[in-house]
Structure 1
Amino acid sequence: MAEDTVNTEKLGDDIVRVIKTIYDPEIPVDIYELGLIYDVFANENNDVRIIMTLTSPNCPVAESLPQEVKEKVKSIDMVNDVEVELTFDPPWSQDIMSEEAKLELGML
């Protein structure tokens, strides 16, 4: 396995680990398990782009949650820059939550 692949996998693991420390303030589940993170991209310069959503466009943390994601991911040593794109297409629904999140919320 090439070193670049190992570094990319480690960076991806580190990003997911950091994102799993961020919780929706109204739901006791991290935003990764809630399905709020749609995609994560990293280029060869370790610039990261994250596409995420919120549980609702009127979410009270619409300003602060994406900023928290950006700051925490940017704190990873390997990361140079972070861009967080907020989207509501497709809209979030309970169907995209992980089984772990559904179990935590008593939905399974």
Structure 2
Amino acid sequence: MDKKKIEEDIYETLKTVHDPEIPVNIYELGLVYGVDIRDDGYVQVTMTLTAPACPVAGEIVREVDEKVRAVTDVSDVNVMLTFDPPWNREMMSEEAKLELGFL
């Protein structure tokens, strides 16, 4: 198993997940804090939301789970939500800031 390849595939997959209320993917928004891959293919995605009371939280988490689970050599997925550290606009990529008019 090539964990580096799996990690790259996961990050590419996460770039296809969008917050329905914001026209930028969750990776560029800075919502993905980390991806840990065990030798058996178990993946833990640690992420946050733009706000703790995000009305589409369940949709986003479900989509992350389904899409990461579909990546080759991933055996199981756990999506862990955290609000520490809290998300802020500085976590966005330059591309996301430009897209949203923050630059």
Q: TM-score range by the shorter chain?
A: over 0.9
What's the offset of the Cα at 1:78?
Answer: 1.0
Determine the structure 2 residue equivalent to 1:92.
87
Equivalent-residue separation in structure 1 for 2:88 and 2:94 (angstroms): 14
Q: Which amino acid aligns with 2:32?
A: I
Determine the structure 1 residue equivalent to 2:66.
71
Determine the structure 2 residue equivalent to 1:106.
101
With normalisation by structure 2, the TM-score equals 0.96
| Alignment map for 1:39-78 (pairs within 5 Å) | 39-78=34-73
Structure 2 unaligned spans of 5+: none
Greater C-alpha radius of gyration: 1
Equivalent-residue separation in structure 1 for 2:87 and 2:14 (angstroms): 17
Determine the structure 1 residue equivalent to 2:18.
23
Superposition RMSD on alpha carbons, in Å?
Answer: 0.9
Equivalent-residue separation in structure 1 for 2:18 and 2:59 (angstroms): 12
From 34, 38, 45, the counterpart of 2:29: 34
Give the total of aligned pairs. Answer: 103
Q: Secondary structure at the match of 2:46?
A: strand
**Percent identity over paired residues:** 54
Equivalent-residue separation in structure 2 for 1:77 and 1:43 (angstroms): 14
Runs of 4+ in 1 over 3 A off after TM superposition: none
